[in-house]
Amino acid sequence: SGLPAAQVRRTFLDFFRDQHQHLLVPSAPVRPRGDPSLLFVNAGMNQFKPVLLGTVDPRSQMALWRRVANSQRCVRAGGKHNDLEDVGRDGTHHTFFEMLGSWSFGDYFKEEACRMAWSLLTEHYGIPADRLYVSYFGGDAGSGLSADRETRDIWLHLGVPASRVLPFGLKDNFWEMGDTGPCGPCTEIHYDHVGGRNAAALVNAGGAEVVEIWNLVFIQYNREADHSLRLLPQFSVDTGMGLERLVGVLQGKRSNYDTDLFTPLLDAIHQRSRVGPYGGRMGAAPDAQVDRAYRVVADHIRTLAVCIADGVHPGMSGSELVLRRILRRAVRFCAEVLQAPPGSLASLVPAVAQTLGDAYPELFREADRIADIINENEGHFLSSLQRGSRLIQRTCLRTGSGPFPAAVAWSLHRDLGFPLDLVDLMLEERGIQVDRQELDRLVSHDQKMRAEQQADSQPRLLLDVLSLAALQRAGVPHTDDGLKYRYHLE
Ligand code: ATP
Ligand code: MG
Ligand code: MG
Ligand code: MG
């Protein structure tokens, strides 16, 4: 019931293009281009960073843009915005999601931005105004930032009752892209799913009753490398609304997994799974674990498909290592909790394309390649997974309800390639915890060893070069490639 997701997306884009003269631009790939401060694209504004900072090449097309809108594919699984740990535990945080965004680059500012957002939600989508709450930046004495009273007044003027206009601090209402980058005070729109009397107290409280749906950021500063704020020469508006959450609101669902963006995917999982169907249970009760596995697998397969389509493959460093962790978590939940046969994960790719293909036709084109890469990586991990699970079982029999030995957790990671956060999840299911202090010690010891090894390898290279020179001087026949020569001798 309710507006289908594809129409929700379309309505947003049409509104900004037809009613407010915004240019529609394509989503950037999730791999950030030329921005080492990011692992993945985490917000629609990433690709516009040079425009916001005023460093855009004046000859580029972007330099002409004043108003744009789009739907941007985002991944929040690392860096400042990391939601990986929340996935499966709630119905509103995904590792991959679509952000519906609108921008004014030095054109209109706060008042028009609020007015447009309010009009779209209440008039075009028809959301009852009395279910909406707005928040604004209440100031922060420590950093000398004052409250954004201007925005508060704008909302009051638009007819929002004072009891539903709420101030919050830096954490919720001062948006920053990462450790550095464009930032500023923001105002956010929240939806009350219940219609309760105490809803104001539930804004930004982390529950499912009241969810944040739209963030309107007033970009005024750049966060510099020394953590200071530099005032920008021109002010901009940068808004982002989670498509999945908005669809949840419009389809009357508190959990995004109950919307048409996910239900075909959950059905496809059920066809391959020996447990289920998906029942929507949340929380830590044993019977909620199957439902959580459904959510994790549905979330992770979307992320895997989109990332691989955009050229990020599971690998050994940076964003690729994050994707490898996501893949291994998905493989584990598929095989062990959902009891689905090998190959199941990759076989879900067409269902992902079916739910997202409207916006990302490349998912259809690339479906076979994506499935191959997932299968190949699943194969690498499956035998280790079995050995690791048996190791966990045996160890738990030995230690009972006491803490899980750090050395075993470390060996699961180092020798069998288990992501440490997956080990945590598997132990949590058994109601036990790892000896955290000892594990932290092992991790930092390992980091130190690696750093030393790396330092060691430099003199060795120097030695190779020196011995090559010696060979040359002595007139010994050799190849140009010193390293090749050494391997040849060995
Ligand atoms: P939250 O407080 O719920 O974690 P946020 O404040 O971190 O959200 P913003 O950075 O303000 O989110 O992003 C803008 C919008 O993108 C949010 O209002 C929300 O609708 C959506 N969004 C953010 N994170 C996620 C996520 N992990 N999954 C789905 N949608 C998200
Ligand atoms: Mg967040
Ligand atoms: Mg928030
Ligand atoms: Mg926010």
Whether 214 lines ligand 1, by a CB cut-off of 6 Å, is yes
The answer to whether 83 and 76 are in contact (CB under 8 A) is yes
Whether 73 lines ligand 1, by a CB cut-off of 6 Å, is no
The Cβ of residue 37 has, within 10 Å, a number of other Cβ atoms equal to 15
Ligand 1 atom showing the smallest separation from residue 211 Cα? 3
Distance 401 CA to ligand 1 centre (A): 37
Distance 173 CA to ligand 4 centre (A): 7
pTM: 0.90
Strand stretches in 35-194, DSSP E: 67-75, 96-105, 132-137, 165-168, 174-176, 181-192
Whether 93 lines ligand 1, by a CB cut-off of 6 Å, is yes
Distance 340 CA to ligand 3 centre (A): 35
Whether 99 lines ligand 1, by a CB cut-off of 6 Å, is yes
Provide the token pair at 306. Answer: 């989109």
Tell me what pLDDT residue 34 has: 81
Q: What is the residue with the minimal CA distance to atom 11 of ligand 1?
A: 215
The Cβ of residue 466 has, within 10 Å, a number of other Cβ atoms equal to 12
d(CA 463, CA 274) in angstroms, rounded, equals: 59
d(CA 436, CA 442) in angstroms, rounded, equals: 10
d(CA 8, CA 241) in angstroms, rounded, equals: 12
d(CA 43, CA 76) in angstroms, rounded, equals: 9
* 67-75/23-24 β-pairing: parallel
Whether 190 lines ligand 1, by a CB cut-off of 6 Å, is no
Band of the pLDDT at 20, cuts 50, 70, 90?
very high
The answer to whether 345 and 331 are in contact (CB under 8 A) is yes
Per-residue pLDDT of 329-384, as tens digits, reads: 999 999 999 999 999 999 999 999 999 988 899 999 999 999 999 999 999 999 99
d(CA 325, CA 419) in angstroms, rounded, equals: 6
Provide the token pair at 212. Answer: 């944040």
DSSP string for 195-227: --TTHHHHTTSS-SSEEEEEEEEEEEEEE-TTS
Whether 241 lines ligand 1, by a CB cut-off of 6 Å, is yes
The answer to whether 257 and 270 are in contact (CB under 8 A) is no
Whether 292 lines ligand 1, by a CB cut-off of 6 Å, is no
User: Chain-wide mean pLDDT for the chain?
Assistant: 92
Per-residue pLDDT of 212-237, as tens digits, reads: 999 999 999 999 999 999 999 999 99
- For the question of an ipTM over 0.90, the answer is yes
Strand partners, 144: none
Tell me what pLDDT residue 483 has: 43
Pocket test for ligand 1, best of 8, 82, 215, 356 (most atoms within 8 A of CB): 215
d(CA 255, CA 348) in angstroms, rounded, equals: 21
Q: What is the residue with the minimal CA distance to atom 19 of ligand 1?
A: 242
Tell me what pLDDT residue 65 has: 93
Distance 400 CA to ligand 1 centre (A): 40
Band of the pLDDT at 485, cuts 50, 70, 90?
very low
Share of the chain above pLDDT 70, in %: 93
Q: What share of the chain is helix, strand, coil (3-state, %, to 5)?
A: 50, 15, 30
Band of the pLDDT at 455, cuts 50, 70, 90?
confident
Band of the pLDDT at 471, cuts 50, 70, 90?
low
Element (H, E) at 399: helix 367-399
Band of the pLDDT at 459, cuts 50, 70, 90?
low
Residues in contact with 305: Cβ distance below 8 Å, sequence separation at least 6, in sequence order: 349, 352, 353, 356, 363, 370
Tell me what pLDDT residue 36 has: 82
Q: What is the residue with the minimal CA distance to atom 31 of ligand 1?
A: 242
Per-residue pLDDT of 41-70, as tens digits, reads: 999 999 999 999 999 998 998 999 999 999
Tell me what pLDDT residue 353 has: 96
Distance 187 CA to ligand 4 centre (A): 8
Does 190 or 474 have the greater pLDDT score?
Answer: 190
* 165-168/23-24 β-pairing: unpaired
Ligand 1 atom showing the smallest separation from residue 213 Cα? 20
Nearest to 164 by CA among 192, 205, 194: 192
Q: Kindly provide the b/e burial profile for residues 71-80, where b requires at least 16 CB atoms within 10 angstroms of the residue's own CB.
A: bbbbbbbbbe
Whether 76 lines ligand 1, by a CB cut-off of 6 Å, is yes
* pLDDT value at 481 more than 60: no
Backbone angles phi, psi at 343, to 5 degrees: 95, -10
Whether 245 lines ligand 1, by a CB cut-off of 6 Å, is yes
Distance 242 CA to ligand 1 centre (A): 6
Ligand 1 atom showing the smallest separation from residue 81 Cα? 7
Backbone angles phi, psi at 70, to 5 degrees: -165, 180
DSSP string for 328-364: HHHHHIIIIIS-PPTTTTGGGHHHHHHHHTTT-THHH
The answer to whether 278 and 270 are in contact (CB under 8 A) is yes
Per-residue pLDDT of 23-45, as tens digits, reads: 999 999 999 988 888 999 999 99
Q: Kindly provide the b/e burial profile for residues 124-158, where b requires at least 16 CB atoms within 10 angstroms of the residue's own CB.
A: ebebeeebbbbbbbbbbeeeebebbeebbebbeeb
Distance 14 CA to ligand 1 centre (A): 22
Band of the pLDDT at 458, cuts 50, 70, 90?
low
Nearest to 255 by CA among 247, 5, 297: 247
Whether 378 lines ligand 1, by a CB cut-off of 6 Å, is no
Ligand 1 atom showing the smallest separation from residue 186 Cα? 11
Ligand of minimum distance to the alpha carbon of 240: 1
